[in-house]
Structure 1
Amino acid sequence: MKFLLPVTFLITCLFNSKVEARWKPKIGTTWNYVLNDDLGFDVAKETAEVVDIDYETSTEVINKLHKKNISVICYFSVGTFEDFRDDADDFLAIKDLVRDPYVEWEGEYWLDYRVKGLKNLIEKHGYLTEPSKWENPLTVKDTIDYAIWLAETAHKKNLSIGLKNIPGTIDKLGSYFDFAINESCVNFDECYLYENFLKSGKPVFGVTYYGLTAENKERLCRNLYGLPISMIIKENRELYQDVIFFNGKETCGKNFDTGL
């Protein structure tokens, strides 16, 4: 490797008010990923066992989901700054914390999570960028250290925590996290990186974008053979509530090995 690239790092924390022990989801648990609710989240039609929603979702919606025995994952980014959040000014007030734009999503910017003061903000509520833009770019070790701190902090508060994306670190970080979430591992042929994590009994929640096309079917069948990743398919990247639950035997044939 010629150089170490900065890391896009996002985590997911889960709050489950019905139990005292920390929630530990099981492999095979169905899930849904709903970050865009401008159409209105319909609790009545939700059939997944776990729903990953934005941390600013109303308490009313969360309580309704809990009453249906649906666990709720609270999504927020700890590796990027989002300029539309209520606490945006708190991030901007810390010198050199908010850096250049994250080109994948409008309104997001890279964070230098080594800067003093960020951890206090996180407690209150990557690989993809050019390292030459920073005089002192983030390293994989920086990310590992930060991720471990996040996991230990969540567990001290009796919260479950999941590692989102960066599958190349899963073998180093898997023991610290309770579950994992991945976007598009079938498109990058990297689902296999979760094999050891799955063997440890921890679930992986996956999402594939742009529908159950012929190309996506081929990728899903090839990448998920023998891997019990709980995979869903979304029609686009808007992340509305509508979802397709991947069924390997229905999509790929009766000889498909689900890994379960």
Structure 2
Amino acid sequence: MRLTPKLKGASIGASFALALAAAVVSAPTASATPALPAPVPCNTTGPCWHPALNTSWNWVLSAVPNAPYRNVQMYDVDGFNATASNVSSLHNAGIKAVCYISAGSYEDWRSDASQFSSSILGKSNGWPGEKWLDIRDVQNQNSVLRSIMDARLDMCRSKGFDMVELDNVDGYTNRTGFPLTAADQAYYNATLANDSHARGMTVLQKNDNEQIPTLQPYFDGALNEQCNQYKECTTAQTGGSYGLDQYVAAGKPVFQAEYKLSTSSFCPTDNVNNFNGVQFALNLDDSVFQPCR
């Protein structure tokens, strides 16, 4: 379940965000992160689903939802727990399915947990049984971490999912136990976005707003938690360096979740920004579902 505990009360300041962007462009030569790969288009294995700017959605991770479903166009569900039959049932109801996987954290209850080497397991990310990952491993030629994540993407594809949500891909802004940089994170996120596209699935950027200018060409939309609460939704709010409105300007949808704010306090803003805003329960158990439009 997915609100990554924040170390900061709001967003990273605009000056720090500019420093992060600079790190992506010019990392030190001694142990430089590889240059970002070129974006891979999502059409290598056939037509991909590209959601419209205005796409209704529901997000249920605590359990696998069953019919009858809410009247929405998209469901985001746990990729491990959902079966091919569950995805087929969503499709039969005219609903697209998004495969939630944690790409930046180890989860000790997952079926592939034994494949993670202890050397890439870091500090707890604040959720029971979860630890941050040393995402720099993906830069190695025979990366075990990339093999694990690609196997997860293969799982999503084999079950028939249309899109992927990669969670916990902002470790560099947290105390992971590793000296991760913005460049490390951008390389990791771009690599997995490309790997999703290569499998015929579109992919959402989850949080990591500070790197939107770098990552937007690799992703097909964004999923964010609480940008209204933390006042980091738009480029104007962040001092002109990054914002979810940059996805909308590129014709890509933004799926925005709030937990603590009332719909009356954030929906008018989300609607003006053309975000698909919804109020959910924090544990994403489908007990609260209040869409803005």
TM tier relative to shorter chain: 0.7 to 0.9
- Alignment of 1:181 with 2:252, yes or no, is no
Separation of aligned partners in 2, 1:154 and 1:219? 32
What is the aligned partner in structure 2 of residue 218 from structure 1?
A: 265
Shift of 1:218: 2.5
User: Do the aligned residues in 2 keep the contact of 1:186 with 1:220 (CA within 8 Å)?
Assistant: no
Separation of aligned partners in 1, 2:67 and 2:210? 35
SS in 1 for 2:273: coil
| 1:97-154: CA deviation from partner (whole Å, max 9, x where unpaired) | 1111001x222110001123100111112254237x44xx100000111111111111
Equivalent positions of 1:128-167 (< 5 A) are 128-130=173-175, 133-134=177-178, 137-167=179-209
What is the aligned partner in structure 1 of residue 47 from structure 2?
A: 21
| 1:1-53: CA deviation from partner (whole Å, max 9, x where unpaired) | 4997xxxxxxxxxxxxxx9401111101000000011xx62321321100000
Equivalent positions of 1:177-216 (< 5 A) are 177-192=219-234, 193-210=243-260, 212=262
Which residue identity is paired with 2:151? K
Which residue identity is paired with 1:113? I
- Alignment length, in residue pairs? 220
Separation of aligned partners in 1, 2:197 and 2:65? 29
Q: How well do the aligned residues superpose, as a CA RMSD in angstroms?
A: 2.1
What is the aligned partner in structure 1 of residue 109 from structure 2?
A: 84
Shift of 1:95: 4.1
What is the aligned partner in structure 2 of residue 241 from structure 1?
A: 286
TM-score under structure 1 length normalisation: 0.78
Separation of aligned partners in 2, 1:64 and 1:107? 31
Segments of structure 2 that go 5 or more residues without pairing to the other structure are 1-15, 21-44, 138-142, 153-170, 235-242
Q: 1:147 to 1:167 in 2, by over 3 A?
A: same
Identity of aligned residues (%): 28
